[in-house]
Chains A and B, each alone.
Chain A
Amino acid sequence: MIDIQNVSKRYGDAVAVQDLSLTIPRGEFTVLIGGSGSGKSTTLKMINRLIEHDSGRILFNGEEIRRFRPEEIRRRMGYAIQSTGLFPHWTVGRNIATVPQLLGWPAARIAARVDELLHLLGLPPDEFRERRPHQLSGGQQQRVGVARALAADPEVLLMDEPFGALDPITRGALQEEMRRVHRRSGKTIVLVTHDIDEALGLATRLVLLDQGRIVQAGTPAELLTRPANDFVRDFLGRSERGIKLLGLQTVASRLRPGETAEGEPLQAEGSLREALSQFVAHGSERLPVVDAHGRPAGALHFADLLRPAA
């Protein structure tokens, strides 16, 4: 879908991105991660031409992005940023309608789309449509920012540290929301973050950058189990690698169906990382598991954490 080929970007003497090549496949949730100055944000902004690359080529659906008007390409890619950038003088509804308005959609279609998106992001339309951004909490503002980015059903969604300024609970809720949006829409998403847990939780493809180059790219599990070098190992948190690996898998994947056990039940949809925490906290080696509706589903043994997935 997006093909970045040997792209470089310099600011004076400083190199922001150096000979970077990356393919972003359709439908993937690609997360660009790295420290500050790694070039992750620059890479993202070169895709919608907020930053123009110096050399190399960037292809969008096989076509060089410089062949399009910048406005045209931006309207085909949703864009959400950390501080939301909501327009304070417009209502929530008008903010979400920004791109459909630019594209000249009929009013009725815009209104329907606004309500649909408010619904999708858990903001009751009748309550929120007419509010102004300053009347919303940080988390609600960010939801509106995401809704605005999704409004015209863009082919790609670009997100620049969208949840960076939120408290951990709101952040977690919105990450869950994004996973749901991705599952339901199958949209190609490119997200930039410096938070490794956010990256591991969201990515179907993880790209680790340092000093304007890609250090390693692959699935989160690949990076955790086969880190290319010490930098990757350090970045993923050397001592917590195992725990993070458990965070990628659900209790359901190791479940012993039909078995029973005593104690506080684990959620089948929860991660093995949460299960580990429960085992330690309760000093127990066997815990019951319940499904999403609270019905008993089986049990999990402490030793199962080490067993390869069924």
Chain B
Amino acid sequence: MPTSRFRLAWLRDPLPWAALALAALTFGMPWLKPLFAAAFSGLDRPLYEQESFAELVLSHLTLVGLSSAIAAAVGVGAGIFVTRERGREFRPMVESLVAMGQTFPPVAVLAVAAPLIGFGETPALIALTLYGLLPVLRATIAGLEAVPAEAREAATGLGLDAGQRLRQVELPLALPVIVGGIRTSVIINIGTAAIASTVGAKSLGSPIIVGLTGFNTAYVIQGALLVGLLAVVVDLAFARLGRRAGRWRGSTSP
């Protein structure tokens, strides 16, 4: 392949550009202070300076990363369990339990959790984990059920035991769908984590909430811009991961 075409393909990939924009905005927000001062001339403090934006992005990512990791582990585990022979009867129960977790608005979960557990990161983590479970569980069940019956029969007939069949055949074949579910879950949680600032968890929601209560539109924009960009970058990264997981399908997308 000619180098020029290779370079062009790299330039057309939106992921590095979005990541670059996110990094630039995270570390370069202070330099935009004059811009915000000019746009919102009525504000005394046009730039959110209680914490650095790098700090906020980091704690936002930690919150999302932890809750999504737990949601993914529990969701995939439960999905595997209820599609096995001995777990099949638990499936309706698990599904409705998890659906309930998502029906509760995260604000309500936070409101209930805060007085019980106290303010801070823990109630936020609980709310986000509960909220992120459903997409992962649904995707895991759907992915495992979409495994061709012939592949499963052949695996059994050739002498793979239940564990080998799951690890070598069913999970790899379901992986693209499962990654899609985790992607949905993480993207939802990136948005929802902003609300976690209402119970005192530090996140990119902090400038938004402070801005909303103090009528400081500049704060709101600064927080929202970063949350939005973060979601875009993570979504693009997952899209790439999903393509990689489904490479064996030989899909038309590169």
Contact = CB atoms under 8 A, between A and B. Distances in A.
A73 B161 CA distance: 12
Interface of B: 148, 150-161, 164, 168-169, 172-173, 248-250
A71 B161 CA distance: 6
A149 B159 CA distance: 11
Interface in A16-53: 48, 50
A99 B150 contact: no
A interface residue count range (under 10 / 10 to 19 / 20 to 34 / 35 or more): 20 to 34
29 contacts: A50-B157, A73-B159, A74-B156, A74-B157, A79-B154, A81-B153, A81-B154, A81-B157, A83-B148, A83-B150, A84-B154, A85-B148, A85-B151, A85-B154, A85-B155, A86-B151, A86-B154, A88-B148, A88-B151, A88-B173, A88-B248, A88-B249, A89-B248, A102-B160, A132-B248, A132-B250, A134-B250, A148-B158, A149-B158
A83 B150 CA distance: 7
A211 interface: no
Interface of A: 48, 50, 71-75, 79, 81, 83-90, 98-99, 102, 132, 134-135, 145, 148-149, 158
Contact of A74 (B158, B172, B249): B158
B159 A81 contact: no
Nearest to A88: B248
Contacts of B148: 83, 85, 88
Contacts of A79: 154, 157-158
Contacts of B158: 74-75, 79, 98-99, 102, 148-149
Given A88-B173, A88-B248, 10 more contacts: A73-B159, A74-B156, A75-B158, A83-B148, A86-B151, A87-B168, A89-B173, A90-B248, A148-B158, A158-B157
B157 A87 contact: no
A79 to B, nearest CB: 4
A135 B248 contact: no
